[in-house]
Amino acid sequence: MTRSVEPSAPPTADPHEEEPNGARATTTVGEPRARVRAIGLNVFYGEKQALFGIDLAIPPNQVTALIGPSGCGKSTFLRCVNRMNDVIPTCRTTGRIELDGADLNSPSIDVVQLRAEVGMVFQRPNPFPKSIYDNVAYGPRIHGLAETRAELDDIVMGSLERAGLLKEVEDRLTEPGTSLSGGQQQRLCIARAIAVKPRVILMDEPCSALDPIATARIEELIDELRESYTIIMVTHSMQQAARISQRTAFFHLGRIIEEGETEQIFTDPHEERTQDYITGRFG
Amino acid sequence: MFLLAALSLAGMTVLAFHVGRRRALSKAGGRWGSLRSLPTQYGYFVALWTALPASIAALAWGTLGQRALPWAAENGLDARIPGLVLLLSTACAGLAWAAAKVEPSFPARESTERIIRILLFLSSGVAILTTIGIVLSLLFEALRFFALVSPVEFFTGLSWSPQTSLRSDQVGSSGAFGAVPVFTGTLLITLVAMSVSIPIGLLAAIYLGEYASPRVRSVVKPLLEILAGVPTVVYGFFAALSVAPMIRRFGESVGLDVSSESALAAGLVMGVMIIPFISSLSDDAIAAVPRAMRDGSLALGATRSETVKKVLLPAALPGIVGAILMAVSRAIGETMIVVMAAGLAARLTANPLSAVTTVTAQIVTLLIGDQEFDSAKTLAAFALGLTLLVLTLGINLIALETVRRFREQYE
């Protein structure tokens, strides 16, 4: 199949680098390699501006945590990466956001293809009212990733395996996805997202509707997945951000106050507001 | 006289309210804290006890009191006077009894609420009791019919000509009461109507719910719902005077033999009538699918139409099926359009271009005019009505059950 969003990053051990390098690279020498890059990104909902000149580089194969108080623009930023903001009629975006150097807001980008490259996991598990198998097979089917039933089986089983769910559901693949527990449903949604072989997975507070045990299970999974995917995760839990992310960006009132290595942000923040937020003094 | 009675009862009720309230206040010696309920609640209690027994007495007088009329006439009395006296004396008795109960320790709020609860229960019972009454009256008349005509003939006979003679020497004295052609007529018209309204209604619902901009939606949706408010007799004109001749001319121009009253004309117009029904209910069912399902599908790279086909419609299917079944029972019971546009010939045919008759149209023709309610001809109407009622009740039950299952899914 043809992919309209071509990667132009230097070759790595990344499993998605089988496509030839594109010539559209905008990354200049000296800048760190970024899978997703925002340059002066503004987002408006009608008259209200939600994001102000966001500059952020998200390196591949790492977990980047977006933290900040409610309404600070974290989720808005997340939804720019797969253009889910298009669903909101009043939403308008200016500035630039890139996936491997390709401008995501350019008219040549096919949103359908983009969303196959950038998967998303939502706050509340949202399996379709279909069987477990059909939930995972949904993406591969609409994108025509499998020609035969055997290929589709491979994709579905592989995705369930990677999401750490296969053992639990092996003998009940025809049961509805909604019959699973909350944590299992969320892992099903992760399996559903990775079944279309995305490069980036966006997670919008993926554990906020789950109990601590299910949360631990998902965190473990996220840590494993970063070997193959680039993960951007919105979270309200400082501990979670500290535990599983390599980089952290602190959003406040639609601006990035500080971003960098997670360890540095949590142990030695440069900004006082970051310090205040992570120690729970505001937000 | 009726006006006088109603006005005096209303006046007494207002008075009773004040009596109850004042009495509670004076018994409490101005200290509200010693009352178990608020002063107004004592007022409501006395008012209800004044109005309700008196209303019941008045209703009883209205239905049973006529028996006293001859006696009143003999004694040169206005028969309406005892009624008024009865009303007012019951109201006074109620007022006095309730006012006597007003004590600071009396739980007026609880008593009032109990009365209100009984009233609410009775209101909900009215519809159910009426339905039972309708079924029973239909049942008894239908039984009389089945005493004259065997049920086997009625349910399996292929010939319908409900003409019975008044005198035994008249020609054609034995009518034929095989209801099959009548029911197939209903079935044929319902099929035509559904094949118009299901696709159009469903597509309209999908457009309005998923594609239309808020501005278009705010104009089109109310317009569609206005369509539901057009009186069916107006649809009947439209079917008989515009659509049927049009179909006939069209049929002639392509060499088809179309009768001037056809199942097609009636069915098409009935289908149009049912569109808002299906589109509105299906739209609700699609809108009830959680936002998260749409987002989940779109975020996987599904297009809008893929999302509609593969996620929204399957998830909303039980609701849509419920909507369709309710529309079917509506089509089966629809009368005006078929009376005006479908014809009266009971013909066993599957050809939508010919005139057919339906159960409802037959009931109307059987009962119109001066009729004795003891001939098989008129009684046949009740048998038809009963069968129709059982049919639509069954369909509605299935529809409600499917909708109920659907509701459980996301709770």
pLDDT average, residue stretch B307-312 = 92
Burial class (CB in 10 A: 0-12, 13-18, 19+), B144: middle
List of chain A residues whose C-beta atoms are within 8 Å of the C-beta of residue B292: 122, 124, 126
User: Residue A89 and residue B297: Cβ atoms within 8 Å?
Assistant: no
pLDDT for the residue numbered B409: 58
List of chain A residues whose C-beta atoms are within 8 Å of the C-beta of residue B311: 128
Asked whether the beta carbons of A98 and A79 are under 8 A apart, the reply is no
User: Residue A119 and residue B302: Cβ atoms within 8 Å?
Assistant: no
pLDDT average, residue stretch B21-42 = 84
Interchain CB contact of B296 with A (< 8 Å): yes
- pLDDT classification of A31: cutoffs 50, 70, 90: low
Closest approach of chain A CAs to the CA of B398, in angstroms? 22
Residue in B with minimal Cα distance to A84: B299
pLDDT for the residue numbered A261: 94
Q: How far is B111 from B73, CA to CA, in rounded Å?
A: 43
Indicate the helix (H) or strand (E) that contains B328: helix B313-333
Burial class (CB in 10 A: 0-12, 13-18, 19+), B19: buried
Question: Cβ–Cβ contacts within 10 Å for residue A202, how many?
Answer: 28
Dihedral Cα B383, B387, B388, B390, nearest 10 deg: 140
* DSSP code string of B137-193: HHHHHHHHHHHHS-HHHHHH---EE----SSTTSTT-S-EE--HHHHHHHHHHHHHH
pLDDT average, residue stretch A57-72 = 93
If phi > 0 it is left, if psi is from -120 to 50 it is alpha, else beta; for residue A80 that is: alpha
If phi > 0 it is left, if psi is from -120 to 50 it is alpha, else beta; for residue B193 that is: alpha
For residue B158, is pLDDT > 70? yes
Closest approach of chain B CAs to the CA of A271, in angstroms? 35
- pLDDT classification of B366: cutoffs 50, 70, 90: confident
Lowest mean pLDDT: which of A39-48, A242-251, B25-34, B308-317? B25-34
CB burial string B312-351: b at 16+ within 10 A, e below: bbbbbebbbbbbbbbbbbbbbbbbbbbbbbbbbebbeeeb
pLDDT average, residue stretch B291-302 = 92
pLDDT average, residue stretch A24-45 = 74
The size of the A-B interface in CB pairs under 8 A is: 68
Lowest mean pLDDT: which of B145-149, B158-162, B322-326? B158-162
**pLDDT, tens digit, for every residue of A127-145?**
998 899 999 999 999 999 9
Closest approach of chain A CAs to the CA of B216, in angstroms? 14
User: Residue B299 and residue A84: Cβ atoms within 8 Å?
Assistant: yes
User: Residue A126 and residue B298: Cβ atoms within 8 Å?
Assistant: no
- pLDDT classification of B165: cutoffs 50, 70, 90: low
User: Residue A130 and residue B314: Cβ atoms within 8 Å?
Assistant: yes
User: Residue B314 and residue A129: Cβ atoms within 8 Å?
Assistant: yes
What percent of chain A is predicted at pLDDT more than 90? 72
Give me the residue spans of the domains in chain A. Answer: 36-278
Nearest one of A192, A115, A125, A127 to A158, comparing CA atoms: A192
Burial class (CB in 10 A: 0-12, 13-18, 19+), B129: exposed
Select the more confidently predicted residue: B340 or A29: B340
pLDDT for the residue numbered A16: 46
**pLDDT, tens digit, for every residue of B206-238?**
999 888 888 998 998 888 888 888 898 999 999
For residue B170, is pLDDT > 60? no
Q: How far is B82 from B78, CA to CA, in rounded Å?
A: 8
Residue in A with minimal Cα distance to B317: A129
Asked whether the beta carbons of A82 and A115 are under 8 A apart, the reply is yes
For residue A15, is pLDDT > 50? no
pLDDT average, residue stretch A241-255 = 94
Domain topology for A36-278: Rossmann fold (3.40.50)
Residue in B with minimal Cα distance to A176: B409
pLDDT average, residue stretch B307-324 = 89
For residue A63, is pLDDT > 90? yes
Which residue segments constitute the domains of chain B, with CATH numbers given? 2-124 (no CATH), 176-409 (1.10.3720.10)
Closest approach of chain B CAs to the CA of A171, in angstroms? 23
Widest CA span in chain A: 57
Interchain CB contact of B114 with A (< 8 Å): no
Token reading at B80: 């309406």
Asked whether the beta carbons of B300 and A115 are under 8 A apart, the reply is yes
Q: Which one of B213, B215, B300, B309 makes the best mutation probe of the A interface by having the most chain A beta carbons within 10 Å?
A: B300
Q: How far is A219 from B405, CA to CA, in rounded Å?
A: 36
User: Residue B300 and residue A193: Cβ atoms within 8 Å?
Assistant: yes
Nearest-CB residue to B301 (from A87, A128, A139): A139
User: Residue B298 and residue A113: Cβ atoms within 8 Å?
Assistant: no
Measure the N-to-C terminal CA separation of chain A; round to a whole number of Å: 46
**pLDDT, tens digit, for every residue of A135-172?**
999 999 999 999 999 999 999 999 999 898 999 999 99
**pLDDT, tens digit, for every residue of B84-120?**
888 889 999 999 999 888 888 888 899 999 999 999 9
User: Residue B293 and residue A114: Cβ atoms within 8 Å?
Assistant: no
For residue B354, is pLDDT > 90? no
Q: Which B residues 172-231 touch A at CB under 8 Å?
A: 213-214
Lowest mean pLDDT: which of A183-197, B169-183, B248-262? B169-183
User: Residue B301 and residue A122: Cβ atoms within 8 Å?
Assistant: no
pLDDT for the residue numbered A185: 94
pLDDT for the residue numbered A14: 45
